[in-house]
Structure 1
Amino acid sequence: MTPLGRRCAAAAAAIATAVALLTAPLSPASAEPSPDDGGDQTLGAVLESSGKRYLEAKAVLDNSKKKQAELQKELDTAQGALDGLSQQVGNMAAEQYRQGRLTGPSLMLASSDPSGFFGRMTSLNELSAHNDAQLHDYLEAKDTIARAKSELDAEVDEEQKALTVIDKQKKEAEKALALVGGNVTTKGLVTASSPKAAAAPRTSSGGWPSETCSQQDPTTSGCLTPRTLHAYNEVKKAGFNRFVGCFRTGDIWEHPKGRACDWSLQTKGFSVWDTDDELKYGNDLMAFLVRNADALGILYVIWNRQVWFPATGWSAYVGDSTHEDHVHMSIV
């Protein structure tokens, strides 16, 4: 190509680029945030499935530890009672060995008059009742100890099973996060000063009840699960009142299920942070969610190239969306 031809081609390319820039749609602040899950179905599936199983196993583990503590307290109380009763029963046995077993006839023969006979008979009944009560308490304490030890052993087995599941789900989550650069751990955000949120309801075993998208989404015409609505209200109560969008279609993960919200840094719409105030708002919001993850049922949180996942903690996030324009919250 001649020099003139090269210059013409370069000019044409420049004109085409300029036209493309001028005619391309702007990215307004009101635009929807970019995809939440890095654009990788495997990542999203593993984050959701492993996250749920991890949280379920963690609930079992926490409940097991709580029950173990209660059983240990019961065991210690029963053991203390048994130790005291053992001394009393031992003294009673030694006394009977030294004096011979007291019987009705022996007491009656030792009586010198009717009043003495009835007095000794009353003493014998009282002593027998007292000894029987001590023996009953002694045997009951032994039974309590045996039952508590058996239940404690069973709880230890449950704990080990939960720990095995937790370890497996942690590894699954690490593999998923590696797809978006999550093999690089990060320091995360300070959470000590974040407000405390009210806890969402759990099952009697400490787990998260299954919920449907049954509540009106305050941010759209869609729906939210009761737990997601609870988290939404707690975030608002904590003072994070800028723009937020929750339910939306066109997403195969938590948003259409009413289990996710995107917390913008702006008072209206979404745009990438470019001020210290917007950065601090995002940092504080994510810190609040992480600190209250157990109370709210947080599945994972993504913000500003970082992802926090209960099974793994903080990791780098460099998926298709860097999440620099919003904090994404997914609820189990």
Structure 2
Amino acid sequence: MRLNPVRRRLATALAVLVATSGLALAAPQPASAAPRPLAAPGDSGDDGEGGSQTLIKQLEAASKGFVEAKEALDRSKKRQQELTAKLKQIDTELGPRQAALDDIVGKSYRTGRLGAMTALITADSTRSMLDRAQTLETIAVKQDRALRDLKDSKAKQEQAKAAIDAAISDQQRQLTVMAKRKSQAENALKVANAANGSSGSSSDDGGSTGGGGSSSLAAPAPRNSDGSLPSESCSVNDPTTSGCITPRTLHAMQEAKKDGFNHFIACFRHQNSGEHPKGRACDWAADKGGFGGDATGASKDYGNRLANYFIANASRLGVLYVIWYRRIWLPSSGWKSYSGAGGDPSSDHTNHVHLSMR
């Protein structure tokens, strides 16, 4: 159909207008989806610490076994030092006691068997006989005491030597346990990292997180008389949640806060494994207000300093292990690669420092 001149001119003008103005017809676009909120630790579907339940149990058992064996080794070495000093003292006493007994035996030999009888018979009076009898009794008592002292010293000497041998044997056993626990932890990490497709290995990634650390020494947690840590349950109120934590975990939190680490903290939570449901773990946010994205700048420096603080005070506080920025610090091995199962900041521990306690 042919357009009349008026319509043709209108169509031409409209085409020119569209071409020169760059207008184009487009189908309506859907509104962009809102960004997914960042998952807090424990909310990403894993077992709460960025690893499988099997891995967490292996790390817990290995680290606890290693630290307990190391402390037993330290106690055994201390005991050996005490026994060695005691043996030296016994050896010092043994010489004079042997000399005293030898002197008494020598005098008895020179006097002869009939010496005592002769002394009594040749007494010129009853009083003299009684005096000599008393003297002979005194000599006999001294001989008996000298002999007992010598036997006692020799028995103590043998006991000390046997105890030293036992301490050395115990130290060898503890060293064997430590080596096995170290291997257990590292093998578990190697398997987990391989399963998660991590390019990192379980090899040592360095002695610290970088960024320095607090030089403050925390007040030590209470210990038993033998130096071991007492067994504790989830028995005190958790100031960060409505749950509970152990007294030792609370002590570590209070000490860290006193040294200036006051960002957001979350401790107790229900999960399938790990220390959080036992009240023996806390997550310390790198950002002041809570768990954000990957920590950078001042937030990452805060995390570095906090992780190094817990490591420097590991023995004093009773630290089991520390996780921070895709790495885990183990008492047996230092820093190792640690790949989170979820791949998010919480699973990778790039937005918080995880502290597990004994």
Q: TM-score range by the shorter chain?
A: 0.7 to 0.9
- The equivalent of 1:19 in structure 2 is 32
What is the match of residue 89 of structure 2?
77
1:326 is the counterpart of 2:352? yes
Q: Give the share of equivalent positions with the same residue, in percent.
A: 42
Deviation at 1:109, TM superposition (A): 4.1
Distance 1:248 1:265 in 2: 19
Cα-to-partner distance string for 1:175-218 (whole Å, 9 max, x where unaligned): 12223345221222388963222332334554443332121001
SS, match of residue 263 in structure 1: strand
2:213/2:309 contact within 8 Å kept: no
Q: Deviations over 1:26-46 (max 9, x none)?
A: 44xxx6247663333332121
Asked if the contact 2:281–2:355 (Cα under 8 Å) also holds between the matched residues in 1, the reply is: yes
Is contact 2:214–2:305 with CA below 8 Å preserved after alignment?
Answer: no
TM-score, scaled to structure 1: 0.82
3-state SS, counterpart of residue 320 of structure 2 = strand
Give the match for residue 295 of structure 2.
273
Matched, 1:160 2:172: yes
8 Å Cα contact 2:213/2:306 also seen in 1: no
2:78 paired residue number:
66
Give, in whole Å, the separation in 2 of the partners of 1:248 and 1:67: 41
Partner of residue 239, structure 2: 218
Matched, 1:37 2:75: no
Q: Distance in 2 between matches of 1:80 and 1:116?
A: 40
Task: Report the equivalent of 1:6.
Answer: none
**Counterpart position of 1:264:** 285
- Please give the alpha-carbon distance, in whole angstroms, between the structure 2 residues aligned to 1:104 and 1:214: 76
2:259 alignment partner in structure 1: 238
Aligned position for 1:4: none
Amino acid at match of 1:285: L
The DSSP-based 3-state class of the residue aligned with 2:32 is helix
Structure 2 Cα separation of the partners of residues 199 and 101 of structure 1: 68
Distance in 2, matches of 1:236 and 1:251, equals 29
CA RMSD of aligned residues (A): 2.9
Match of 1:248 in 2: 269
- Is 1:51 the counterpart of 2:63 in the alignment? yes
Report how many residues are paired.
Answer: 313
Query: What is the rounded CA distance, in whole Å, between the counterparts of 2:86 and 2:114 in structure 1?
Result: 36
SS of residue paired to 2:249:
helix
Residue of structure 2 in register with 1:188 after alignment: 207
Which structure 2 segments of 5+ residues have no match?
Answer: 1-25, 194-199
Match of 1:92 in 2: 104
Q: CA deviation at 1:19?
A: 2.3
Find the aligned partners of 1:112 and 1:235 in 2 and give their Cα distance: 90
Q: Which moved more, 1:69-78 or 1:162-171?
A: 69-78
The one-letter code of the counterpart of 2:83 is L
Contact preservation (8 Å) 1:301, 1:330: yes
Give the whole-Å Cα distance in 2 for the aligned partners of 1:83 and 1:279: 66
> 1: CA distance between counterparts of 2:214 and 2:110?
70
**Separation in 2 of the partners of 1:192 and 1:130?**
67
Unaligned runs of 5+ residues in structure 1 are: 1-10
TM-score (normalizing by structure 2): 0.76
- Deviations along 1:224-271, one digit per CA (max 9) or x if unpaired, are 022212222222233322221111224531112211011122321123
Mark the CA change 1:156 to 1:239 in structure 2 (over 3 Å): closer, same or farther.
same
SS at the partner of 1:19? coil
Hey, what's the Cα distance between the residues in 1 that align with 2:103 and 2:259? 64
In structure 2, distance between residues paired with 1:330 and 1:182: 22
8 Å CA contact 1:37–1:43 kept in 2: the answer is no
**CA distance change for structure 1 residues 326 and 216 in 2, over 3 Å: closer, same or farther?**
same
In the alignment, is the contact (CA less than 8 A) between 1:302 and 1:329 conserved in 2? yes
Which residue identity is paired with 1:220?
Answer: T
CA distance in 2, matches of 1:101, 1:182: 84
